[in-house]
Each structure stands twice: as structure tokens, then as C-alpha cells.
Amino acid sequence: MARAPHGIALTCAAALLLSGCSGSAEDDGDAGSGEDDDLVEVTLGVLSIAPSAAVQYGLDEGIFAEHGLDVTLTPGQGAAAMLPTVQAGDMDFAVGNALSVLVAVDQGLDMRILSGYSHSYAEGDDINGVVVRAEDDLDSWSDLEEQSVAVNVLNGQGDLTIMEAVSQDGGDPRAIDLTEVNFPDMEAQLERGNIDAAWLPEPFLSQSLAQDEFELLGEPNQEVIPGLPTMISFTSGRYATENPEAVDQFQAAMDETLSAAEEDPQGTASALASFLDMPEEAAAEIRMEEYDSDPRVEQLSTMVDLMVEYDFIDEPVDLDEVVVE
């Protein structure tokens, strides 16, 4: 399958995209700045990754302040790490991986999903895919049986969608040899033959497919859950109950922010450059996920069903209780 390269030239930009190797979200995102005592002070946990630029965009444009919120951004290392902080009340809101939030609910944390945030594309080039060596005879999902497939973390969205894609193709999903490899290391491991396939996001996906020795096996999100929510915004059940007005303000601000960021890619790229302290030219080359505040309950419901099927969680999560619409 052909795919147009996006031409990311800076290694640091790629590393920043997924690891937050430098750059902080702490001080640049205080929209209120003490100018209006009527603003509600809230903390918002974000990851130092490219999609978080939409939040920075909303702060830069004053959208959160317009909705009565004085937001302080707090950097986090992942949704799983932020969840206990939100539960304890040390962080009011957070943006993170949808699957991690659902796992936390299954484990007993009282969480509320407040909005969608970023999503995989339902059609066209997606934001991640499985790459194999062109010389290998791996042409379909079922060919991944008994093969070593790299994902960034086990029991995540990568292996969940890959296993279901294999199953839908008639293969045995539990026969895949799934292994954890950091995204920046996957291409080299694939080239050396240490793994047989790699689940790569942008910009690593386009970088690999620009080389003749690699090819795209498929895009598992589109195969399994088109338009899959990759990140959502959330808070604790206690905060949602005790602060309904702030929750309403936050949801309205996120809706306006994500719509504006989706419609203004140039402005979002500028916010990304500021957010991750990277050159604007590099930021403009990064293909972002789709921004949308709709939590996409139908896709989340499919995700929950698959999480139960593949033993990610013990019981189905009641989305009617968890999603605040």
C-alpha cells in the first residue's frame, strides 16, 4: 500500500513527539494569569506529546479563559500515572489514553470521561499502522501468527487492535508473539530481523514507509474500530459531583478548543512548536490525529467488548455511568 511521506527531518522532533524528551507544559499554559479573579482555577494534566498541542492552542487563543477557567497545565508521564493523581484530587482534569482510563475503571477507580479529544482516522491514511519488511512473505493479518510483533506497551491499543485484526482475518490472535519496543527503536529492530512487524505511529510510520525495504501490512485501528478514540479528557467521579459548573465549563471549553484546533492546522502547528520547544517547520510536518470532542461512545463500546474478550479487563465497563455527556 502506497503512502505519501511526511518528510520529518529532525530526530529530536520525533523523540519529543512520543517521549517528551525535553520541553515542559508547566508555565506556558496559565491562561488566567491572575487577571480575572472570577476565573475558576483548575489543573489539567497533559502528556508531552504532539496531540497535546490542541490544549496549548486553546490556552493561547484564550478559549479556556472565555469559559471561566484559569488553567494550569501539569505534565504527566501517561494516563496510567495521572489517574491516581486525579482520583486523589491533586489534579482536577487530565487528557490521556482512553484504554487506560477504562482499565482503571475496571480496577475500581471512580473516573468520568468528559469529552473525546484525539482520534484515529476512519478512512484514508491513518495515524498508525503495522510495518513489515518488503522481502518477507507477510501479506495479511493472519500471517502474523507465530511472528514477533512490536508494540510500545503490552495490553494497550496496539496489541488490542492487532489481535482483533488477526482474528477477523481467520488467524489465531493468541499465537502472535507480542513484544514491547520503544517507538524510536522499532525500525532498527525490524531492519535487523529482531522483530517481524512493528506497530508505528506518525512520524515514524511515514519515515519507515519512505524506504523501499519496508511496506505497510495494514492499519489496525481502521480494520477494527474506525475512528477509534486515542485520547479523551477525564476527571474523578468525586470532582464531577462536587463541581458540576466547572465540569460544564471545561466541557464547553474543550469542545470549542478542539473544533478550532482541527480547523486551524497552521495555528495548531505553531502551538505545538511552543508546547514542545521545537522548530515551527518541523511542527508543521507532523501529521496530527483528528481532534473531536465527541467521546464516540459507539467506538468506546466496541473497545470495551474487545478488552473483555482479550482479558484486558474482567467485566464490561458501564459507559452510561462513566461518560458525562
Whether residue 103 is found in the same domain as residue 141: no
Of the residues 203, 224, 245, the one at which a domain ends: 224
Tell me the average pLDDT across 41-56: 94
Q: Is the residue at 191 inside a domain? A: yes
Residue 309's pLDDT band, with cuts at 50, 70 and 90, is very high
Out of 13-27, 43-57, 81-95, 302-316, least confident range: 13-27
The answer on pLDDT for 289 being more than 70 is yes
Whether residue 160 is found in the same domain as residue 22: no
| Nearby residues of 49 by Cβ (< 8 Å), 6 or more positions away | 17, 18, 20
Please tell me the predicted confidence (pLDDT) of residue 29: 42
Cell of 280: 515551527
Torsion angle defined by CA atoms of residues 123, 124, 129 and 131, in that order, rounded to the nearest 10 degrees: 140
Whether residue 171 is found in the same domain as residue 238: no
Could you count the other beta carbons within 10 Å of the beta carbon of residue 26?
Answer: 10
Of the residues 178, 209, 224, the one at which a domain ends: 224
Whether residue 245 is found in the same domain as residue 308: yes
Q: Which domain holds residue 236?
A: 11-120+227-322
Cell of 12: 529530536
The answer on pLDDT for 318 being more than 60 is yes
Whether residue 241 is found in the same domain as residue 116: yes
Tell me the average pLDDT across 36-57: 91
Residue keyed to cell 475558576: 40
Please tell me the predicted confidence (pLDDT) of residue 222: 96
Residue 80's pLDDT band, with cuts at 50, 70 and 90, is confident
Whether residue 176 is found in the same domain as residue 243: no
* Residues 97, 78 contacting (CB under 8 angstroms): yes
Whether residue 54 is found in the same domain as residue 198: no
Please tell me the predicted confidence (pLDDT) of residue 148: 98
- If one counts the domains in the chain, the total is 2
CATH number at residue 73: 3.40.190.10
Q: Is the residue at 5 inside a domain? A: no
Cell of 124: 484514508
E strand map for the chain: 40-47, 69-76, 93-97, 111-119, 128-133, 148-151, 177-180, 197-201, 214-218, 229-236, 290-291
Whether residue 90 is found in the same domain as residue 239: yes
pTM given for the model: 0.86
Tell me the average pLDDT across 87-105: 95
Q: Is the residue at 144 inside a domain? A: yes
Share of the chain above pLDDT 90, in %: 80
Please tell me the predicted confidence (pLDDT) of residue 16: 41
Of the residues 182, 204, 224, the one at which a domain ends: 224
Whether residue 108 is found in the same domain as residue 244: yes
Whether residue 26 is found in the same domain as residue 112: yes
Q: Is the residue at 109 inside a domain? A: yes
Q: Is the residue at 6 inside a domain? A: no
Q: What stretches of 131-243 show up as alpha helix (H) in DSSP?
A: 157-168, 183-192, 204-209, 220-224, 237-242
pLDDT tens profile 156-198: 999 999 999 999 999 999 999 999 999 999 999 999 999 999 9
Q: Is the residue at 199 inside a domain? A: yes
Q: Is the residue at 159 inside a domain? A: yes
pLDDT tens profile 119-141: 999 999 999 999 999 999 999 99
Q: What is the mean pLDDT of the chain?
A: 89
